[in-house]
Chain A
């Protein structure tokens, strides 16, 4: 008996130590990079710069939350489980809808609701494709991404469509209690999603569905509802992000689809900050702020922005390679 349990226990210990090492290492690396920027990048630590990056990161973070919820609710194996490749294109489409309606003379509220509804509908289409037609999420959301990107182009004809309104001006320049409106949106939305995913029975069930679909089904959870929820919620995040994009740029611009890679990077890097390397809202928040500060620090140090993509890619590879050693082996 002891001879059977002893080795497995030491193995477990070693893995726990490795996991702890990786997590501490991740925080230490981020700390070291930020300290380096603080010491050598002029102006990095000024309050203005720090807050500015938080505001800049709001859009990326909101979209990354959508992706994170999809990871939570449909599994983290990006090839077989869930991934929502349509987020960035969807946000572009929502921004186009928002701007078009504003320019047609509709009120802020109508246009904003229409943007959110558009996002949710695209999310619903993803959900239907995955649940009803059982298409692999990777493919389904890829097809939907094409459709959304195409619709955005037909609406805007690949041009910058500007728009302005009181509501947008408030989002752009407004301040409450000394903190800008964009930062408030980020803080409140993070709290909302964080509480929903981590402190409610609903969130626990969402994790259960994503973690092990069959077990969740056997436990009596209506799994398809949670899969639908993940994609529709991700769509809503796109709608919200679209409003933020339009307020920040005072326009909808082509090329929102390029955000997809940073979104994936933020959600995947975020897993390294959790105890079992699973997607969490807090982890995604830290990762996307870190990506924001990384780009900002590079800019202040005068390093070419052409490096940013490569560094993000290298970080993803590093994180995934290191965590795969500390993670318990799955299935095969």
Chain B
């Protein structure tokens, strides 16, 4: 019995480093496999094109998952924010008003989630699933069945370039926005009272209630913050591609969930953290970039990512000490 327990304990120590090990393995493998992988140019390309949007969405999801919830409607927040932003810009409003409108749209999605979950007491998975359905209908109805809005004409370019093409101190603005979001979420989750509330709600909801945490109010904030972050990502997305493509935000959901939970494997208590989530996003982005460089097509990339997520989760959860 003693022996068994000790050996499991050693596995547990390994399981805490599984993400770092996977990361190292992926980087070493692709560096050997292709010469273009381990270059500064490629690194910058990965960060500015692949990481920023997914990372911002994943940060939002991290707050929700840390509080013990789940948000399947991140795509709706992204899309509606993108839609309102593009529509306002297309109607000739100033870019600032467009950004504000986009964020308000995302805020409304967050408020709807919070209302369903905390007033109507619907389980977070089901509530956000319902919002996901409704969001897709709203987008189809307001775009005549899913017709994208392209704003590629020159008159709109200054607004978009101010958001996605400028840089400060040699670092592109979107990356600055990501850094800002990361710092804000880090402070929220790891340095403020709200973060302690989130942690206790996620770990022991009953204890949170009896410790005097105003659970419905704090749990509502979680979904509103998440929706706002998704709104930021939505605006960045539409500024990057100079258009609004209906239902394009749903693609982020799976990767964001994957990144957040890969990130939990990094912490010994298996709770989501900002650093862990960012690591998860990097791992996914690096993997996808590497598979592209060694010449796998998009279809095989999806299989590869799926297998990677599966293996990381299996090792991280499977090697963990059994809970009593």
* Chain A residues packing against B (C-beta within 8 Å): 77-79, 83, 129, 132-136, 138-140, 142-151, 153-154, 157-158, 261, 264-265, 268, 304, 306-314, 316-317, 320-321, 324-325, 332
Contacts of A314 in B (CB 8 A): 130, 133-134
Q: Please, how many angstroms separate the alpha-carbon atoms of A306 and B147 in the complex?
A: 12
Assess A332 versus B133: contact at CB under 8 Å? Given A143-B309, A153-B302.
no
CB distance A132 to B140 under 8 Å?
Answer: no
Chain B at the A interface: SS class: helix
Q: Given A133-B318, A306-B145, A312-B133, does the pair A321, B121 have CB atoms closer than 8 Å?
A: yes
The reply to whether B254 and A150 contact each other, CB–CB distance below 8 Å, is: no
* B305 CB within 8 Å of chain A: yes
Chain B, Cβ-Cβ closest to A85: B254
Our pick among A135, A157, A268, A308 for the contact of B299 (Cβ within 8 Å) is: A157
Are A153 and B299 within 8 A (Cβ)?
yes
- Partner of A147 from B129, B137, B307, B314 at Cβ < 8 Å: B307
Pairs across A and B, CB under 8 Å, 9 listed: A77-B123, A139-B261, A139-B313, A147-B307, A150-B300, A153-B302, A313-B137, A317-B130, A320-B122
B136, CB-defined interface residue at 8 Å: yes
User: Inside 8 A of B298's CB, which chain A residues have their CB?
Assistant: 153
A150 x B313 contact (CB < 8 A): no
The answer for the CA separation of A307 and B142 in the assembled complex, in Å, is: 11
**CB of A120 to closest CB in B, whole Å:** 18
B306 in contact with A146 (CB, 8 Å): yes
Chain A residue with the shortest CB-CB distance to B125: A78
Of the candidates B70, B120, B317, which one forms a contact with A79 in the assembled complex, judged by CB atoms under 8 Å apart?
A: B70
User: B263 at interface (Cβ–Cβ under 8 A)?
Assistant: no
Other-chain contact of A321, B116, B254, B258, B261 (Cβ < 8 Å): B116
Given contacts A310-B141, A324-B120, A324-B122, 19 further A-B contacts (CB under 8 A): A129-B314, A132-B318, A136-B317, A140-B310, A143-B310, A146-B254, A146-B302, A147-B307, A149-B302, A150-B299, A153-B299, A306-B145, A312-B133, A316-B129, A317-B116, A317-B120, A317-B127, A317-B130, A324-B121
Bound-complex Cα distance A143 to B141 (A): 31
Contacts A144-B306, A306-B141, A314-B130; A138 near B70 (Cβ below 8 A):
yes
A135-B303 in contact given A144-B310, A317-B130 (Cβ < 8 Å): no
Q: A78-B123, A133-B318 are in contact. Are A313 and B302 (CB under 8 A)?
A: no
Assembly CA distance A148 to B137 (angstroms): 27
Q: Which residues of A contact B133 (CB under 8 A)?
A: 261, 265, 309-310, 312-314, 316
Interface size class of B (residues with CB under 8 A): 35 or more
CA distance A304 to B137 in the complex (A): 10
How far apart sit A313 and B116, CA to CA, in the bound complex (Å)? 12
Known: A317-B116, A321-B122, A324-B121. A306 touches B140 (CB 8 A): yes
**A286, chain B: closest CB distance, angstroms:** 19
A310 in contact with B138 (CB, 8 Å): yes
Contact A143/B258 with A79-B123, A135-B314, A313-B137 known, Cβ cut-off 8 Å:
yes
A292 to B320, CA, bound (A): 44
Smallest beta-carbon distance B36→chain A, Å: 24
Can you name the residue of chain B whose Cβ is closest to the Cβ of A261? Answer: B133
A309 touches B123 (CB 8 A): no
Which residues on the B side are within 8 Å of A304 (C-beta)? 140-141, 145
- Chain B minimum-CB-distance residue to A77: B123
Query: Of B123, B206, B258, B304, which contacts A320 at CB under 8 A?
Result: B123
Closest CB in chain A relative to B72 CB, distance in Å: 10
Q: Which residues of A are found within 8 Å of B121, using beta-carbon distances?
A: 321, 324-325
| Contact status B258-A150, CB under 8 Å | no
Given A150-B306, A306-B145, A332 contacting B205 (CB threshold 8 A): yes
Q: Is B126 an interface residue (CB 8 A)?
A: yes
* Contact between chains at A129 and B310 (CB < 8 Å): yes
**CA–CA, A136 and B262, complex, Å:** 12
